Amino acid sequence: MNLQNFSFETLIFQVLNGLAFSMLLFLLAAGMTLIFGLMKVVNLAHGTFYLLGAYFGYSIITLTNSFWIALILAPVAVGLVGLVMERFFLRPLYNKPHSNMVILTLGFAYLVGDLTTLIWGGDPKSIPSPEPFHQSVELLGRNFPSYRLFVAALGLLLALGLWLLLEKTRIGAIVRAGVSDKEMVRGMGINISLVFTSLFVFGMMLAGLSGVVAAPFQSFGLGDDLRILTYALLVVVIGGLGTLSGAFWGAILIGLVDSLGAAYFPSIAQFGIYIVMALVLLVRPTGLFNRATA
């Protein structure tokens, strides 16, 4: 354990860092878990759409010089790629065994991953923090990157918005009804395949958004798609497949463990998150928030 430079301030900073990362993970895991809940698709290309968001953001910023335009347009572009994937590739597989879809999404992950290298090259890219968050703010007598505070706040806001959308609107009710009984939803006159497409595109947009938002944190490039996919899968599994609140608390847990682990237990930080997952699953095999019965 590394306690030489332990201080209250450092702890707070690490927690804030962790929370900012948590919110990025939540944006990814939210789409992933809802798509699984409704469509039973385990999308192994989810991390790829995240990376695609970062690359699209990079190109849009290069063209327009504006992070904020990229923040809006990149997720839309990622959503369009998701639309193509769902309509033309996933759709024919809905009535086939799940393994087909898993292989397809994995294939997409590699295919799109290679394409990004072809287009943007293998060197890591980075995006500067946008105005007005490009400087640090003073916090407890030290400097803290204000952009991370922005990310944490944005994530919390989106989490609240997603929760309201799912729990308080008719669209949310249709999605939840679809999770429990798709056939009956169709028998009520609802075009479930349109719901599938919309949710998938929405999930991909969230993944793309998360990619743009993450880009000013650290450079990104080759391999980040599969790295972030692992995190997202951990969050989804820990929270309980198919539950939004699970994705939220799972993301907080993994984000904090990752950040605090790196600061205080550097020697085991690499697998700290896996230890947490193992412990959670030992106690609750279906995840933190999965109701045993629907």
Partner 1 sequence: MSMLEVNDINTYYGKSHIIQGLSLKVEEGEAVALLGRNGVGKTTTIRSIIGFTPPKTGDILFKGKQIARRKPEFISRMGMGLVPQGRRVFPNLTVKENLTMAARGAAKGGWSLEEIYRYFPRLKEREKNMGNQLSGGEQMMLAIGRGLMINPELLLLDEPSDGLAPMVLHDIANIVMQLQKKGLSILLVEQNIKMALKIASRAYVLNKGQVAWEGPSEDLRNNEELQQQLLVVSA
Residues near partner 1 (CB under 8 A) are 170, 173-174, 176-177, 179-181, 183-192, 294
Angstrom CA distances, 32 to 79, 123, 201, 202, 203, stand at 14, 28, 11, 10, 7
By C-alpha distance, which of 224, 223, 248 is closest to 236?
A: 248
Taking the least distance from each CB to partner 1, the nearer of 42 and 190 is 190
291 φ, ψ (degrees, to nearest 5): -75, 135
Q: How near is the Cβ of 137 to partner 1 at its closest, in Å?
A: 42
Q: Decide whether 189 or 285 has the Cβ nearer to partner 1.
A: 189
149 in Cβ contact with 16 (< 8 Å)? yes
Toward partner 1, which CB reaches closer, 30 or 277?
Answer: 30
Nearer to partner 1, 115 or 184 (CB): 184
Shortest distance, CB of residue 178 to partner 1, whole angstroms? 9
Long-range contacts (CB closer than 8 Å, 24 or more residues apart) made by 181-184: none
Residue among 177 and 222 whose Cβ is closer to partner 1:
177
3-class SS of residue 81: helix
Could you tell me the smallest distance in angstroms from the CB atom of residue 193 to partner 1? 9
Rounded least distance, CB 28 to partner 1, Å = 24
Of 158, 199, 165, which Cα lies nearest the Cα of 179? 199
154-176 in b/e form (b: 16+ CB < 10 A) is bbeebbeebeeebeeeeebebbb
CB of 241 to partner 1, least distance (A): 14
In the complex, minimum distance from the CB of residue 37 to partner 1, in angstroms, rounded to a whole number: 10
How many other CB atoms are found less than 10 A from the CB of residue 51?
Answer: 30
Closest CA to 229 of 42, 59, 77: 42
Q: How far is the CB of 169 from partner 1 (least distance, A)?
A: 10
Specify whether the CB–CB gap between 238 and 276 falls below 8 A: yes
- Identify which of residues 111 and 184 has a Cβ nearer to partner 1 in the complex: 184
Measured from the CB atom, the residue of 111 and 164 that comes closer to partner 1 is 164
Report the residue count for the chain. Answer: 294
**In the complex with partner 1, which residue's Cβ is closer, 64 or 191?**
191
In angstroms, what is the minimal distance from the CB of 183 to partner 1?
A: 6
Burial of 264 (0-12, 13-18, 19+ CB in 10 A): middle
CB neighbour list of residue 270: distance below 8 Å, 6 or more residues apart: none
